[in-house]
Structure 1
Amino acid sequence: MRTPAARICISVLIGAVAGLVVFGVTRLSGRNLFVVTGAFAGAVSVLAFQVYGRAARLTEVRVSVPQLSELTFVVNNEAKQVAWRLFVETVTRVSTQPLADDEGLLREALTSLYGLFGTVREALKSTRPSVQARGEQTVEYLAITMLNRELRPFLSTWHPRLKAFEEDSPDRPESEWPQSADCRAELRVVQADLRGYALGFARLAGVKNAMVLVGGAPRGE
């Protein structure tokens, strides 16, 4: 099988055998036809169960998020795909990427966080709930906790305040907002916490060297 000629010979042989099998089956009738058809259906069923079993197999994963301590999760392939999507959405936004005092706009940062909130919520709504076994947590638990503990409080506090300044002083730059420094300080805290969640999603998804992709470190490390 290491040379092209050998691969061609093997392919021809397999094709010839398959042709003989098909020819033989087409000439069967009566009881023999039912026996062959049933055997084929049984083989397909076994293969289908094996594929489903691999997809549904649960894997136990331990995740450490500073805000939540260490939790035990159970994930299958579908849950890993959800965790990967949430990891990508979290790690590619300002939610985890540093924003210096003299860089960017808070309005853009808040808009990005709102987008993350909506994307995570839609991702959870569009997938089936994970199977929960023996009390272990699921990827949905980690995502919903991130929304309700980190994003929602920050956005509900600072979005109305920034919006009020923008409406009262439409001609003034954001840098003149009296609460700008306080908002950026809290944003840095939220970003540090969200990095912990991003690393948690990476752990559930099986991402290697996730710290390099996330950048920085979660608060408390």
Structure 2
Amino acid sequence: MASVRWGRAYGPQLSELTFVVNNDSRQVAWQLFVESVTRVSVQRLDDEDGLLREALTSLYGLFATTRETLKVSRPSTHVSVGMTVECLAVNFLNLELRPFLSRWHPRLRAFEEASPGRPETEWPLAADCRAELRLLQDNARHYLLAFARLAGVRDAEAMIDAPLGHCPRTVALPR
């Protein structure tokens, strides 16, 4: 078991964390990184692009997948100091995803039910929802970088921030 230090601030109170890492937690961290980095949790949704309904559905799916990944993995044992991948993931769910989804999912659903067939661009709260989605994405980025560090991912920031269709070149391919 090894420790990984993470000095980037995330969440409301923590500024430096020590993570406890073993092979099982590396695998869980990798799964959570892949699930998260491929969703709108960190990929920007510009004001004129995409649908909020799709974004909320994707985030709900991420919540369910993260919870399922944790349920089927073995918990870290013999941890006296440091944060585990499970603790980080639960914080991500309970401090970031759950509040956002609890706030915006019912509001969007109420608009959709009251205004069937109307585009969500006519939803009076759409701009507010998108603004909070951007905040969630900024916060989620810190969690994803922590998952990446736990999993041993190289160039995680480049993977997260790369324009669509681009991936950081880490291996020279034979010609």
Residue 160 of structure 1 is matched in structure 2 by 106
Distance in 1 (CA, whole Å) between partners of 2:9 and 2:92 is 11
- Write the distance in 2 (CA, Å) between the matches of 1:171 and 1:140: 41
1:136 correspondence with 2:79? no
Q: CA deviation at 1:134?
A: 2.5
SS in 2 for 1:96: coil
Q: In the alignment, is the contact (CA less than 8 A) between 1:81 and 1:205 conserved in 2?
A: yes
Give the equivalent residue in structure 1 for 2:117. 171
What's the counterpart of residue 136 of structure 2?
190
Q: What is the SS of the residue equivalent to 1:214?
A: helix
1:107 equivalenced with 2:50 (yes/no): no
What count of residue pairs does the alignment treat as equivalent? 159
Show CA shifts across 1:165-204 (max 9, x none). Answer: 0000002110000000000000000001001100000000
Give the letter aligned to residue 93 of structure 2: L
Structure with greater proportional helix content: 1
Contact 1:139 1:204 in 2 (8 A): yes
**How far apart are 1:73 and its partner, in Å?**
1.1
Larger Rg: 1
Aligned-partner Cα distance in 2 for 1:195–1:181: 21
Report the Cα offset of residue 132 of structure 1.
Answer: 4.0
Q: Distance in 2 between matches of 1:115 and 1:211?
A: 23
SS at match of 1:69: coil
Asked if residue 59 in structure 1 is aligned to residue 2 in structure 2, the reply is: yes
Normalising by structure 2, what TM-score? Answer: 0.88
Structure 2 match to 1:19: none
Distance 1:144 1:126, change over 3 A: same
Unaligned runs of 5+ in 1: 1-57, 217-221
| 1:90 corresponds to 2:48 | no
Q: Deviations over 1:66-108 (max 9, x none)?
A: 2232111111111101000000001000111000000000000
**Pairwise CA RMSD of aligned residues?**
1.1
- The 2-side partners of 1:133 and 1:180 are apart by 44
Please say if residues 74 and 132 of structure 1, whose CA atoms lie closer than 8 Å, have aligned partners that are also in contact: no
Q: How far apart are the structure 1 equivalents of 2:9 and 2:147? A: 10
Please list every run of at least 4 consecutive aligned residues from structure 1 whose deviation after the TM superposition is greater than 6 angstroms. none
Structure 2 residue identity aligned to 1:142:
L
Match of 1:150, SS state, is helix
Which range moved further: 127-136 or 201-210? 127-136
Aligned in 2, Cα 1:210/1:99: closer, same or farther, shift over 3 Å? same
Consecutive unaligned residues of structure 2, counting only runs of 5 or more, are 163-175
Aligned to 1:81: 27
Larger RCO (CA under 8 A, 6+ residues apart): 2
Residues 65, 197 of structure 1: 8 Å contact kept? no
Q: Kindly state the Cα deviation for residue 135 of structure 1 after the two structures are TM-superposed.
A: 2.1
Secondary structure, in 3 states, of the residue corresponding to 1:74?
strand
What is the alpha-carbon distance in structure 1 between the residues aligned to residue 115 and residue 99 of structure 2? 25
Between the aligned partners of 1:201 and 1:158, the Cα distance in structure 2 is 26
